[in-house]
Chain A
Amino acid sequence: MDLSFLPRFPFALGDLSVIALILLAGLGTGELFRRVLLLPRISGYVLAGVLLGPGTFGLLDRGMLEAAQLLFDIALGLILFELGSRLDWQWFRHNRWLLASSLAEIAFSFSLVWLLLGALRMPLLHAAIAAAIGVATGASVLLVVIHDRRADGPLTDRAVNLTALNNVVAVVAVTMLLAPLHLQYRPGVTTLLLQPAYLLLGSILLGYATSVALVLLARWLGKREELQFIALVAMVLLTVGIAKALQLSMLVSLLALGVMARNRDRARHLLPVEFGPSAQVLFVVLFVLTGAAVTLGELAAGAGMALAYVLIRLAGKLLGVVMFSGPSGLSTRKAGLLGLTLMPMSATAVAMVDATARYYPQFGDRVASVVLGAVLILELTAPLATQIALRAAGETRADANGR
């Protein structure tokens, strides 16, 4: 009998099945977290990723995760685009103390973490990169919580703007810090200067070019939300693709795209980003993959250090925002809540660790264990903290079902 038409056992899971698995696992764990543990779904998604990923049960190996990488990139691109487009320079101009708060929280979270890691015997440069990554607040968590709860108000606005600035600084700083690292592993003074210059300027130029295209496209399409979403996804993908091809920084390019699109759009052709059902699918993939990046084994080894990192970073951010809260028009109580909203670390941090590790694999491991450990701790705790902070500030709204 010729049974060659039957599949060969064991069957390989195709790409689509991988994504289906990710979505189902995410949905399941997410709902479990919400209904049983009363925690936000985001934390569930991340845990699903941790369990599925190569670090734990290994149902998804690295090869399979590559398949979902596309969706991850689109999701991160949307997040960074919205983040960049919500950066309001006018506000910083009208409220200089707000800018001071921002610089303070960036400076304190960086330096305190750097000191901590240095004290824990991490080489200075590695510690600096790990600290720089921590400067960024996880925009994916913040924005998803904001959209979920339909949060709006001065505190929400402040959280988003401070996050936008600290992401810009973090991404630029990490890019710059890669240069001396370059020197360590491959000597050459010209590369010391040329590499970060190329990365930064090239990425900004790319963001600029795609922002021009996006605004023109939006103007042509008109004020139709669905169409503009399609255009946005296309532009995000284009930016990511070109950034990879030209070996530029995906993160800088996407942030530049968001910031410049808003600034160039005087006539307001671009509609505000709405995260509809299609975006929700992308976010599940984003958070699951973020979880999958964490290896539980590594985490166990560096858990203490990761926890210390988380706490010192939070202290630095709180100190920064509370310090100038009065003059910037914020009560101390609300400054505390603001500090909580700056807690998250998420996909951007993972992407930065990834970028570093891709260039310098040996170096990557050391930074990775601390940073990814911190990411895991924060993915499980920060979404709830952010939600509580926004609710305590009275800036969340019930949805149509009154939830």
Chain B
Amino acid sequence: MPPPLPFKTSERYTLGVELELQVLNSRDFDLVGAAGDLLALLEKVPHPGEIKPEITEAMIEVSTGIQHGYAGVLTELTAIRDVMVRQAQRLNLGVAGGGTHPFQEWQDQRIFSAPRYRYIHDLYGYLAKQFTVFGQHVHIGCDSGDAAVWLIHLFSRYIPHFIALSASSPFFQGADTAFASSRLNSVSAFPLAGHIPFVPDWTAFTEYFDHMRRLQVVESMKDFYWDIRPKPEYGTIELRVCDTPLTLERSAALAEYARALARYLWEDRPLEPSADVYRVYGYNRFLACRFGLEAEVIDPYERRKRLLSEEIGYTLGLVGPYASDEAGASALQHLREAATTRRGDSVLLRERMAQSKSLSDVVRWAAGLWMHGSADGNSG
């Protein structure tokens, strides 16, 4: 048996947020392969966090440092946003959230020139360009590999929450997909998509990973395109199902929810890992993507169907006391309102489209929202 993979010990419940963003031209708000130019300017100015390229040239990724809750995440993201907007304006570019770009065509996208991305393009062909989708990744600190595995199994039950609350990709390649989040279909296309196997602890996971490596299916953890993935180098679990929300406030709120949920699950111990979670996983995931906050999902523990919006509202009520601070609690309250009124970002995008009848205008609106903030400080 191989020695367990080293897992960096992190402070429990610390947060890191990564956002993948759309780079747009200011004329018709189509995607434009200008991330390289924007990055060249950003290298010369000071900013918190990190800003990096992604697989295609119209994508740009920002990430925060280690944070402890809603307030810190929002402050850091806002600071990064402000620097980015200033430089983007110098190049006449726009930046927006949203899980997909409503009318980009994958053939038009160019692969960013870096060895890993070229490798992915060689291996996966058109899937690489199709991967021009924009997600939010949330890292949650764990103090051991065992804790990480345990938390992943429990979080898997709540995947539909995060999908529905962040869903912002109703449009794809110029059409309404009828999905709240069409982004995840691009992720599912990869052979190594899905979820962690139902292993009991970190040692068992190491065994699994080693086995997969010896079979030459994977080379590193990065080759797994799972919805939740352990990241032993950081000492975190990485939640990867969220679409990039239209506003920073929603991004920070989702991170706060993930953190509060982790605390609630760990300290209250209401549930233990169950294989049933993975039996309903694929179906629940699809329902959440398709119907968003209108979905009716299956509770694997109670073995019955529940309205997702109700379940989210209920859970937010349960985890409220575990918020990081007042600002965090308030953010969770706003999330609860969005869930119970069932007005997520995908609903807003569809409303905007109904109003203006132009996808170009929808993206222009979304860019305005992300770059300059919403009027009342909360999306929806």
Contact = CB atoms under 8 A, between A and B. Distances in A.
A268 B34 contact: no
B27 interface: yes
Contact of B90 (A86, A272, A328): A328
Nearest to A393: B37
Nearest to B25: A152
Interface residues of A, number: 24
Given A91-B89, A152-B30, 6 more contacts: A153-B37, A223-B358, A268-B358, A268-B360, A272-B28, A329-B41
A397 B41 contact: no
B32 interface: yes
Interface string A83-124: 000101011001100100000000000000000000000000
A28 interface: no
Given A154-B91, A268-B361, A329-B91, A88 B37 contact: no
Question: Which of B91, B93, B110, B357 is packed against the most chain A CB atoms within 10 Å?
Answer: B91
B26 A152 contact: no
A157 B92 contact: yes
Contact of A395 (B33, B91, B357): B33
B33 A394 contact: yes
Nearest to A158: B92
B90 to A, nearest CB: 4
Contacts of B33: 152-153, 394-395
A43 to B, nearest CB: 27
Given A88-B92, A394-B33, A157 B25 contact: yes
Interface string A154-173: 10011001000000000000
A211 B92 CA distance: 25
Nearest to A400: B107
Contact of B26 (A88, A329, A395): A88
Interface in A135-193: 150, 152-154, 157-158, 161
Per CB-CB distance, the 3 closest pairs between chain A and chain B, nearest first, are A94-B89, A329-B90, A91-B92
B40 interface: yes
Contacts of B30: 152
A168 B273 CA distance: 70
Contacts of B360: 268
Nearest to A262: B27
Interface string A358-391: 0000000000000000000000000000000000
Contact of A154 (B34, B356, B361): B34
A281 to B, nearest CB: 25
B193 to A, nearest CB: 29
Contact of A223 (B40, B87, B108, B357): B357
Contacts of A400: 107
B358 A154 contact: no
A272 B27 contact: yes
A91 B91 CA distance: 8
Question: Which of B26, B30, B41, B92 is packed against the most chain A CB atoms within 10 Å?
Answer: B92
Interface string B349-380: 00000001110110010000000000000000
Contacts of A329: 41, 87, 90-91
Given A86-B27, A272-B28, A94 B90 contact: yes
Given A88-B92, A152-B32, A268-B358, A331 B26 contact: no
A154 to B, nearest CB: 4
A331 B361 contact: no
A90 B371 CA distance: 15
A152 B25 CA distance: 8
Given A94-B89, A268-B360, A331 B25 contact: no
Contacts of B110: 394, 397
B49 interface: no
Nearest to B33: A153
